[in-house]
Structures are given as C-alpha cells and as structure tokens.
C-alpha cells in the first residue's frame, strides 16, 4: 500500500484560475487578444463573497467573462431568445468552446440573471419524457444558475402552467457577426 506522500493524488492542488492576463483559458473562452482582455478586466472583489469556498472560485472566474462579453458586445458569442408568455429570456454565450454554449435565464426587461427555482426544466430534444432534465453545471447561488448546451441542438423548456418552449441552441456556423443583433442593455 502506498503512503500518502507517494500517492499520485498527494501533490494535487485544487484547480483555480490564475490572475491577470496570463490565463490562456480566458483568451480561448472569449476569442479576444490578451491585451483586449486586460482592457476590460473587472475587479474580482465585485464577484466574491466574504466566505469564499473552493467551488465559488470557479464561479467567480466566469462572472467577469460574462461582463466582458456584454461590455464588448461581441455578437458571435451572445444571443438572447425571449420565452413566450414569460417575462424571461434564454441567454447563450461562449460559443467558441468547440460546440459548447453556456445558457442561463434573464429578466427580459432588465437583463438580470435569475434562477428558475424549479419553475423551468430544460430537456434535450422535443420530447421531455425521452431524457432526464439538463442539470445546472454548478451548485446554485442566487442569479448563478447556468447550464451547458451543445451547439445547434434542440432543447425543450418545460414550464409550470405554460406551454413548453422549444428552441435550438445557436450554431456558430450560422452566426454572421455583421448581421447578428446584440440586445441593447441600456
């Protein structure tokens, strides 16, 4: 039996993002040059809490990225679809990660992120009974419910007391940056 010191996991440290512009994941995520990322860097204190846990470090790492996308209005990584008969919209961003988008729900009027609180259930395909629901990719804190969806795949949003909303995740090959509309957030 191996001692703890010789175990392959003994020297493993939790994966945490590096600060500043040296993180290659930041530039890959946004498709922007590192010098432009520095220009839009936000103060991480804005997204941190007094009692920071390991999983919160990962969530806080993405919050400035979302702000960056909204500030720079890069149209090929941000799209918004209104949910019929609802004050909310589905927002997708981050489409340059090899066919993966991030999805969350926002208030259509204010563009503030919201949690579904069990009112919405997201399924792959048009038959919710065929698959289990898509789960949030993190432990949920207020305004931080996010999902990972695949590019071009059809999803069904099942809602309490309303008709199901069927939509297709964006496809990067279909997005024309010159014609894409970015919602006016002011």
**What are the tens digits of pLDDT across the range 158-183?**
988 899 999 888 876 655 555 545 55
H, E, C per residue of 33-83: CHHHHHHCCCCHHHHCCCCCCHHHHHHHHHHHHHHHHHHHCCHHHEEEEEC
Per-residue confidence band for 63, with pLDDT thresholds at 50, 70 and 90: very low
Q: What residue spans define the domains of the chain?
A: 24-72, 76-173
Closest by CA position to 42, among listed 16, 14, 15, 72: 72
How does 95-106 read in b/e, with b if 16+ C-beta sit within 10 Å? bbbeeebbbbbb
Domain range 76-173, CATH class: mainly beta
Q: 150 or 28: whose pLDDT is higher?
A: 150
Average pLDDT over residues 144-151: 81
């Amino acid at each position: 039996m191996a001692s703890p010191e010789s175990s392959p996991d003994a020297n493993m440290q939790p994966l945490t993002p590096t600060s500043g512009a040296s993180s290659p994941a930041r530039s890959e995520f946004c498709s922007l040059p590192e010098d432009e990322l520095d220009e839009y860097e936000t103060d991480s204190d804005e997204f941190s809490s007094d009692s920071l846990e390991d999983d919160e470090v990962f969530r806080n790492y993405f919050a400035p990225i979302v702000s960056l996308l909204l500030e720079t209005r890069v149209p090929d990584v941000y799209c918004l679809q209104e949910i019929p008969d609802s004050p909310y919209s589905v927002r997708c961003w981050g489409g340059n990660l090899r066919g993966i988008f991030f999805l969350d729900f926002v208030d259509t009027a204010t563009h503030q992120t919201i949690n579904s609180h069990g009112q919405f259930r997201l399924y792959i395909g048009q038959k919710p009974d065929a698959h289990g629901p898509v789960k949030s990719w993190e432990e949920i804190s207020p305004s931080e419910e996010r999902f990972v969806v695949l590019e071009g795949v059809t999803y069904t949003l099942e809602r309490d007391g309303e008709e199901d909303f069927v939509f297709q995740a964006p496809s990067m090959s279909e997005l024309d940056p010159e014609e894409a509309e970015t919602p006016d957030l002011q």
